[in-house]
Structure 1
Amino acid sequence: MTWLKRAAVAATVATGALTACAPQGDLTVQRELTVAERIQLQQAEERFTRACMAREGFPYWIQAPLSVEERQGFGFVLDDVGWATRNGYGSRIQQRVLDAKKSNANLRYRGSLTKARLARYTAALSGGPGAPVLSVALPAGGTISSLLGGCQSKAQEELYGDRETWFRVDKIATNLSPLYLPDLVEDERFSTALRAWSRCMGRKGHTYANPSEIRSALPRLTKGLTSAKAYAVEIRLAVAEATCARTSALADTGRALQREYRDRASKPYTADLALHSRLEHAALARAGQLTGTGA
């Protein structure tokens, strides 16, 4: 993956739903949800899905989510030295995710079903062959589609209201980064900080032009090593990257520029982003009532 593509992914991961500054009134965008609040929303959606599937006559198992700690560290550059010291680049976290997917009770259950019952299960969960298809045009071009049907759709309706509206504004809010990242990474302020980061890494014995090169090099650097030694290499590089991200101000510069460019690029979508924000906060209140954590 190229440096720019990694930055695009990181921008979405790091900020969740990207929001913009907006005027007061109906176009006000509320504060960004925390990682813990996003976990709460995801778990509430899973609980609504489970209840719906039970009504359809099928079991549904809720998987344990990644913790707040496990979700940290993902961005265009690591700058949390403590997290890097504990987790490196998160390879062991990623392995736990893969292992959890392999042992997923829902997948095992699907594998036990007859062809006919599997078709009924799939229709109950995500909509059958005749389910309507939602499509939305993305800000940077192209479209994304989803079936409108099944318990997963109903769970989102429980949380966010009208599924079509939520699908539209959510895909707009979370796909703005391609509009501005090409310009951001060409900004001289970013280039200056990136060069300072690279010089800092060089002084530590690591010659890399950008953080993406480290991720690309890791498989080669750890090939043939024991798991423990490979992890030690990962930790050493991650700590160096995070330390240099702080001393070079690359992380702070990147975040400041992201806010600047994002706010500029998102102006045509102010109404959609304000609606997305209102729906998210309303959903959080519903999730709090469901889990007993609401006001």
Structure 2
Amino acid sequence: MKKKTLGALILAAGAAATLAAAATPGFSSMVTKPAEHPVSGITWSAEQFASVDTTAEKGLAEAVRRCMAKAGYDYTPASVRTDRVDLKNSIGFDTLTVEDARASGYAVSKPKGPSEPAADSVEGKLFADPAFQTALHGGEPQEQNMVKSSNGTGMLAGGCTGEGITVIYGNPKDYMRATGLAYNSVLIATQSAGQDPEIQEAVEGWKDCMSSTAFPYSQPGEAVSAGLSAGGQKELKIAVTDATCRENTGFDAKLSAVLDKYLTTRMKELESEVAEVQKIRSDASARAAALLG
């Protein structure tokens, strides 16, 4: 029996590892028009729709763990990132409050969730083991384990990955709809929002504020890069200055107002899909809760 004990590893069945970065055919050419009467705060609803269900994802991780144990691997997959999606990130900015900046600098801009194990580590060597990959994703040919959605995205759903998905979500296509495809579907609107001139106006206001400080950067990305490069107390000082100017100029509120314009249009288009995804997630969460006890 091939028994390997692992700590935190990537749950390859997770949305972050399968669909979030998947390209949708024609995505770059799709445009969402701004609504004439934006719904204030609809960005929050869109972020909820784009985020995964925490309980369902924990149940999925446990279902995969149990399946892998039967195959002879003591494999504990790390949970995928289950924080609520911040759609400001999709237009090039992370939400940064003064409180968070004082506490942890630019932690919000640092990589989140599990990363690929180093190739020469115990975990990396295990992931390079064909037998382990077969247990996790199914055997060759790989095409037989690939499940594709109607718009061209796809994911491996064989082996214990597929078994876990079926236990919690019912089938791979519903899993895709409730995770990566839900996330991708709102990015059509944020891509359009990213070109709105009001974003540059918000940046200019922030830049004017920063010009009177010790850190006269021209846009928030420069401040983030400088802070992360500096580290330590200097990172905290830059981050707090940055966050203070964001607060004083209403930077985040202005970005949210821009997103609201485009997401009002997009969420209206997605009304039926939102309802169906909510049902899929509700059922998955109930199955996960039963599995987790």
Instruction: Flag whether TM exceeds 0.5 (same fold).
Output: yes
- What do the CA deviations read for 1:94-153 (whole angstroms, capped 9, x no partner)? 49966x94599xx6256269x8xx323211101221333122365xxxx43212211122
Contact 1:44 1:290 in 2 (8 A): yes
* Structure showing the higher helix proportion among its residues: 1
Gap change, CA 1:57 and 1:91, over 3 Å in 2: same
Q: Please name the residue that 1:270 is paired with.
A: 271
Gap change, CA 1:179 and 1:84, over 3 Å in 2: same
Q: Please name the residue that 1:20 is paired with.
A: none
1:210 to 197, 219, 228: 219
1:44 and 2:59 matched: yes
Give unpaired runs (5+ residues) of structure 1.
Answer: 1-11, 13-28, 223-229
Contact 2:59 2:291 in 1 (8 A): yes
Q: Please name the residue that 2:153 is paired with.
A: 144
Gap change, CA 1:244 and 1:110, over 3 Å in 2: closer
Query: What is the TM-score of this pair, normalised by structure 2?
Result: 0.67
**1:145-294 equivalence runs, <5 A:** 145-168=154-177, 170-218=179-227, 222=230, 230-292=231-293
Structure 1 residue 168: deviation in Å? 4.1
Gap change, CA 1:92 and 1:175, over 3 Å in 2: closer
2:132 to 121, 124, 128: 121
2:107 to 90, 105, 108: 90
Contact 1:125 1:150 in 2 (8 A): yes
Residue 255 of structure 1 aligns to which amino acid in structure 2?
Answer: S
Deviates more, 1:199-208 or 1:84-93: 84-93
Task: Give me the identity figure in percent.
Answer: 20
Structure 1 residue 177: deviation in Å? 4.5
2:146 to 120, 126, 133: 133
Pairwise CA RMSD: 4.0
- Equivalent pairs counted in the alignment come to 246
Q: Helix, strand or coil for the counterpart of 2:106?
A: coil
- Partners of 1:96 and 1:151 in 2: CA distance: 21
- Partners of 2:72 and 2:159 in 1: CA distance: 13
Structure 1 residue 167: deviation in Å? 1.5
Contact 1:78 1:245 in 2 (8 A): no
- Partners of 2:199 and 2:173 in 1: CA distance: 38
- What do the CA deviations read for 1:157-188 (whole angstroms, capped 9, x no partner)? 22211212322453331113442234323434
Residue 136 of structure 1 aligns to which amino acid in structure 2?
Answer: S
Give unpaired runs (5+ residues) of structure 2.
Answer: 1-19, 21-44
Contact 1:135 1:144 in 2 (8 A): yes
Contact 2:147 2:156 in 1 (8 A): yes
Q: Helix, strand or coil for the counterpart of 2:184?
A: coil
Q: Helix, strand or coil for the counterpart of 1:129?
A: coil
Gap change, CA 1:85 and 1:174, over 3 Å in 2: same
